[in-house]
Structure 1
Amino acid sequence: MAHQKKLTEYELRRLENIKRNDEMFDSLKIHSKINDLSASTKRQRAQIKSYKNVPEKKSKIETPIFIRRSLRTKGMPPDATNMHDFDETLTKTPKSNPKYESSGPITIGDAYCGYASHQQKFTEKIMGVFKKPQLCCGHDSREEIEGGSCNSMARVNENVNFGYPIRVRGCVDLESMGLEPENIARVVPGRILVLRFFPSTDVKLIAVGNNFGNVGFWDFDVENEDGDGIYLYRPHPRLVSGIVIQPFSISKVYTSCYDGFIRLMDVEKEIFDLVYSSDHAIFSISQRTNDAKSLYFSEGHGVLNIWDERAGKSSASWILHEDRISTIDFNSENTDMMATSSTDGTACIWDLRNIDADKPKCLKTLNHKRAVHSAYFSPSGSYLATTSIDDNVGLLTGANFEDVTMINHNNTDGWTSSFSRAIWGWDDSYLFIGNMKRGVDVISAARRVRVATLQSPNLSGSPCRFDTHPYQIGMLAGATSGGQVYTWTTT
């Protein structure tokens, strides 16, 4: 027999404690009561199951919370595919209120996020500007402009936008541009995806749209008025992809979203009316300056539609790209010439008079290595500037836009999916584009290089969306992914 190891004093005490506990449990009949309770519970479950006469179901699983982990935290380099469709993740915003999905109109009061009295001030200000006489090309009434008499005049000379406000043109003094603290505001929560100046000399107003379906307005000239000049609405369930403000009627604002809605904010009627609804996402909207009754918008994978306001339906539809269309822009000197940019890696120029419905053929195609997120004509129409996340700004010029230059620029930080779009200034001299060091780079179209950077200690983020005031040279607005708007002005 094997030699039995002698137990230590600790092990002896442990065995004695176990024996004593067993004797105590036996005296209290604990184990018997546990078994009885277990059997009773099983019988109750069986009875309930039999009573309902349905199979036992598992408890409902709540919607999981997804935690986004960037490639950087995984130790991986930026992925082209992720950058290609970065903003698809923004469409996951929950639909917290059924009214945002309504197939009908939404009142401005229901869409407003704040006090009704505050919202009323915004309405009164817009209507005060709207009712002022609109002098334009000899016409002194809005009815003449909307009625189309100015449109007929415009056909006499396509180089002049008769009946519509004409943007000012001129070279800006870069050294005179500055960013004052009072011209900075957080307008909306979340990320700003679109930014527009109101086309008015009577009010300094900016409209922005974010990834939560909010449309925000900032009146940054609110001296001697109550409030901070910020008005927040939520007419959409998800990401706002486009804003168009009627140039002759600033009380009407078109907005589109990734959920397939186009709404018309009519301040006079105090309503967000539903203009168009689709099962596909709407990625951009635009208007020609001499055609206020038609709305151009991109839908789904590469489809461009023209919405006729008078007929209340689509008047034309073409498949122009293999993937979504990011921007739509028109040449100011020839509004039949249209430029589109796409995440399929191309930017194209089209002649609206000669687009075959079955096989559309463009006048010019510019290829980038990765997604193209903007293509804008210069104020004179002589240039086209494109922006891609391949870290290049494309510049096309010449009689048929045959001269192409690629200007290297870091258009994205490579990690957080933020990218900047280059826009033109008030003439063909400069392009403005945000950099990843909290500044705005200025690119000379003539020299094809960066010639200056707008910087300020008041700039706390990297602006990625821009707009220039149509009637004030040197007024440049930039928006960040944190919901802030920064407005540079000249001294």
Structure 2
Amino acid sequence: MSEMSGLIAEAEEKAGSKGCPQVQVNEYKENENIAYTSLRPIQITTLRKKAKVYLYPFSLSNSRLDLFKFSKSLVENNSSKSVVHKKTDRKKTWRKVLTSKMKALSSKAESLLLKPSLETYTESTKLDHKSTSDSVTPSVDMESSDEDSAAGLDDFSGLSPYERKRMRNIRENAKFFASLQLAESAARLRGMIKKSVPPELKRKRPKKKETEIGCRRSMRLLKVDPLGVSLPASPTQPALVEEENPLLPPGPLEMIPENQDDSSKLFKASLKTWAEMSQTSNGKTKKGLSSIKSYKANLSGMVISEATVRKVTKGAISSVALHPSEVRTLVAAGSKFGQIGLWDLTQQGEDGIYVFHPHSRHVSCLSFSPTNPAHLLSLSYDGTLRCGDFSSAVFEEVYRNETNSLSSFDFLDNASSLLVGHWDGHLSLVDRRTPGTSYEKFFSSTSEKIRTVHVHPLSRQYFITAGLRDVHIFDARFLKSKGSQPLISLTEHSKSIASAYFSPVTGNRVVTTCADCKLRVFDSSSISSQLPLLSTIRHNTFTGRWLMRFQAVWDPKQEDCFIIGSMAHPRRVEVFHETGKNVHSFEGECLASVCSLSVMHPTRYILAGGNSSGKLHVFMHQETSVIG
């Protein structure tokens, strides 16, 4: 330390004699309370041609001596901060002396930091008993400092064998990675990445081949046979498209069955029998209605068998009617393709089924005339209303409207006049007594649609219509050509209404069928401003698109009970009381489908229901006598 101080003094004298500024060195005074003290150069600055060296004490307690085991890289990083900046060319000799002395000091400090903790602690203890000048600056020659730096890490005798091996591995790894030339490889990769890449062109989707065959497509739709060979085009296909909704010519049509020969003696005999059948007076109605107990007993005796199930039409059955005869059982069914099927259950097998085609579209309403049961009136969506006369074997045209589609009809004034409803909400009053063509009066109503029309059984001037979401009661005497207003409107329905009918005997009740899965019964005993709601019955009326909609119809023999189809399993037809109680359910092994539309015989215990495949299901007593 004394030697270094002498060199610095001599340099200052020479610099002073030559006009150089003096260099101040701050010395650290030893603190006796610290276990170990070492010197570390912190900052060397040159301000106005004066070099200053700042030293600060660094101490560790005995318990933390192991923290001194730093790598050489850390010491070099700290020692690099003690580099003396270059001076002017005139002071080269002084600068070399000062730089060499500072390098010797930093090299000695690094060697002290890399020694083991025990030796460092021993040396620090010895330095505590020396003077400040001896402990701070040990004599180190410039040549020894150069030899230590050139010797490498293996010349540190103070390191343990493990640390020497570790330092050797670090040095060898550094040389190995330097030989790999990773920096040059990274530069080449960056150059490759930065090369301009041509923009990607949008991929053109291949056009779907029209002749491509899907794995799940029907072979029938593809028009190929099971072997995969294409079938020849059917020459009748264009004709089928044209004849989907053909408009039949006006005027009468001959009653010719499609499924049998018109010259058949059996068919001619059947026509004669049907023409001679007359309606028997309804003695049950005159004597009074049966009690609920007796009514349930009679319903329980009605059964279905294979002999009472037949397919009578090609498409779905859209309307059903029962002949009022008490001698023979004749059921009429209208289909969605304009057919009318007649089934005489008195005849055995398929001989009693006759199919006619008087219409081109849905036959939505069928009814035997109340004054002449030999007349079967039918109404279709094609805008025609015809009367099938069994005595003349002709379907006469009663009413024709090619502009508006017809929905339903009912009789007025002993069946001499008809009230016809249109899908667009209009009404027509047709008089059948007009020779040649029927006389028509056209009326408009506030209804957006009319699905069903039903006349009051006693007060024939009143009739009820079921529309889109409204039920109206009109007075036929006050109909106008424009803007006919209803007397009463039933607004309790939230969805479209399928039907609305008065009770058959007195008309004191009205039953409606709505798409909100509810059946409602109203009190119509007094036609006033509003009809009170008597009961609401939860019933599944959601039939879907492939089934005909349910319609609740009254039993003509029982004023307070009505019949409706059901979606429940097993399949059934249900009978409800006006209070909402279930009176009876018609079930059987032969009833395996949903009967959307049903009708009861006016005097006998016979029920006929039609499904959407063209089949009729008949429930009746096995014996011929009627239970009283």
CA distance, structure 1, for counterparts of residue 290 and residue 464 of structure 2: 23
The higher radius of gyration belongs to: 2
Contact 1:99 1:106 in 2 (8 A): no
* Equivalent position of 1:303 in the other structure: 426
**1:122-133 correspondence runs (5 A):** 122-131=267-276
CA distance, structure 1, for counterparts of residue 485 and residue 287 of structure 2: 31
Match among 460, 463, 469 for residue 595 of structure 2: 463
> How much has 1:112 moved relative to structure 2?
3.4
CA distance, structure 2, for counterparts of residue 227 and residue 354 of structure 1: 50
CA distance, structure 1, for counterparts of residue 531 and residue 273 of structure 2: 47
* Equivalent position of 2:538 in the other structure: 408
> How much has 1:357 moved relative to structure 2?
4.1
CA distance, structure 2, for counterparts of residue 387 and residue 296 of structure 1: 21
* Equivalent position of 1:53 in the other structure: none
SS in 2 for 1:254: strand
Match among 560, 563, 585 for residue 453 of structure 1: 585
CA distance, structure 2, for counterparts of residue 270 and residue 255 of structure 1: 15
SS in 2 for 1:127: helix
* Equivalent position of 1:114 in the other structure: 260
Contact 2:469 2:496 in 1 (8 A): yes
Match among 331, 335, 338 for residue 213 of structure 1: 338
* Equivalent position of 1:141 in the other structure: none
Contact 2:389 2:395 in 1 (8 A): yes
* Equivalent position of 1:418 in the other structure: 548
* Equivalent position of 1:366 in the other structure: 490
More strand by share: 1
* Equivalent position of 1:90 in the other structure: none
SS in 2 for 1:228: helix
CA 246–320 in structure 1, closer or farther in 2 if over 3 Å, else same? same
For these two proteins, the number of residue pairs brought into alignment is 366
* Equivalent position of 2:405 in the other structure: 281
SS in 2 for 1:177: coil
CA 233–183 in structure 1, closer or farther in 2 if over 3 Å, else same? same
Which whole-Å deviations, capped at 9, do the CAs of 1:310-346 have from their partners, x for residues lacking one?
A: 223344322224333111112222222211112x211
CA distance, structure 1, for counterparts of residue 306 and residue 406 of structure 2: 35
Which of structures 1 and 2 has the larger relative contact order (alpha carbons within 8 angstroms, sep 6+)?
A: 1
* Equivalent position of 1:6 in the other structure: none
Which whole-Å deviations, capped at 9, do the CAs of 1:367-425 have from their partners, x for residues lacking one?
A: 32111111111123110101111211121114336221332210123453532111112
Contact 1:210 1:239 in 2 (8 A): yes
* Equivalent position of 2:372 in the other structure: 249
* Equivalent position of 1:101 in the other structure: 248
**1:17-416 correspondence runs (5 A):** 94=241, 96=243, 101-109=248-256, 112-118=258-264, 121-131=266-276, 169-171=289-291, 172-173=295-296, 174-223=299-348, 227-278=350-401, 279-288=403-412, 290-311=413-434, 312-342=437-467, 344-367=468-491, 368-379=493-504, 380-397=506-523, 398-400=525-527, 402-404=531-533, 405-414=535-544, 416=546
* Equivalent position of 2:577 in the other structure: 444
SS in 2 for 1:178: coil
SS in 2 for 1:128: helix
CA distance, structure 2, for counterparts of residue 232 and residue 483 of structure 1: 11
What letter is aligned with 2:337? F
Contact 1:168 1:470 in 2 (8 A): no
Contact 1:167 1:470 in 2 (8 A): no
Query: Where does the alignment leave 5 or more consecutive residues of structure 1 unmatched?
Result: 1-66, 68-92, 138-159
CA distance, structure 2, for counterparts of residue 177 and residue 308 of structure 1: 40
> How much has 1:227 moved relative to structure 2?
4.2
What letter is aligned with 1:392? K
SS in 1 for 2:486: coil
Contact 1:396 1:403 in 2 (8 A): yes
* Equivalent position of 2:178 in the other structure: none
RMSD between aligned alpha carbons?
Answer: 2.9
* Equivalent position of 1:76 in the other structure: none
What letter is aligned with 1:468? M
CA distance, structure 1, for counterparts of residue 540 and residue 245 of structure 2: 41
CA distance, structure 2, for counterparts of residue 384 and residue 485 of structure 1: 27
CA distance, structure 2, for counterparts of residue 313 and residue 339 of structure 1: 23
More divergent stretch after superposition (314-323 vs 200-209): 314-323
CA 168–461 in structure 1, closer or farther in 2 if over 3 Å, else same? farther
CA distance, structure 2, for counterparts of residue 261 and residue 356 of structure 1: 23
More helix by share: 2
CA 272–98 in structure 1, closer or farther in 2 if over 3 Å, else same? farther
What letter is aligned with 1:406? T
CA 376–168 in structure 1, closer or farther in 2 if over 3 Å, else same? farther
SS in 2 for 1:360: coil
> How much has 1:238 moved relative to structure 2?
1.6
> How much has 1:133 moved relative to structure 2?
7.0
Contact 2:319 2:597 in 1 (8 A): yes
Contact 2:427 2:445 in 1 (8 A): yes
CA distance, structure 2, for counterparts of residue 206 and residue 132 of structure 1: 14
TM-score by length of 1: 0.68
CA 208–133 in structure 1, closer or farther in 2 if over 3 Å, else same? closer
CA distance, structure 1, for counterparts of residue 245 and residue 451 of structure 2: 28
CA 228–294 in structure 1, closer or farther in 2 if over 3 Å, else same? same
Which whole-Å deviations, capped at 9, do the CAs of 1:170-217 have from their partners, x for residues lacking one?
A: 452232232222211111111000000012223210111101110100
* Equivalent position of 2:558 in the other structure: 427
> How much has 1:480 moved relative to structure 2?
0.6
SS in 1 for 2:266: helix
CA distance, structure 1, for counterparts of residue 559 and residue 340 of structure 2: 31
CA 98–267 in structure 1, closer or farther in 2 if over 3 Å, else same? farther
> How much has 1:218 moved relative to structure 2?
0.6
Instruction: Give aligned-pair identity as a percent.
Output: 23
What letter is aligned with 1:236? H
* Equivalent position of 1:151 in the other structure: none
CA distance, structure 2, for counterparts of residue 94 and residue 221 of structure 1: 39
> How much has 1:294 moved relative to structure 2?
0.9
CA 314–394 in structure 1, closer or farther in 2 if over 3 Å, else same? farther
What letter is aligned with 1:403? P
CA distance, structure 2, for counterparts of residue 260 and residue 282 of structure 1: 5
Query: Where does the alignment leave 5 or more consecutive residues of structure 2 unmatched?
Result: 1-217, 219-239, 623-628
More divergent stretch after superposition (214-223 vs 96-105): 96-105
What letter is aligned with 1:116? D
> How much has 1:244 moved relative to structure 2?
2.5
What letter is aligned with 1:422? A
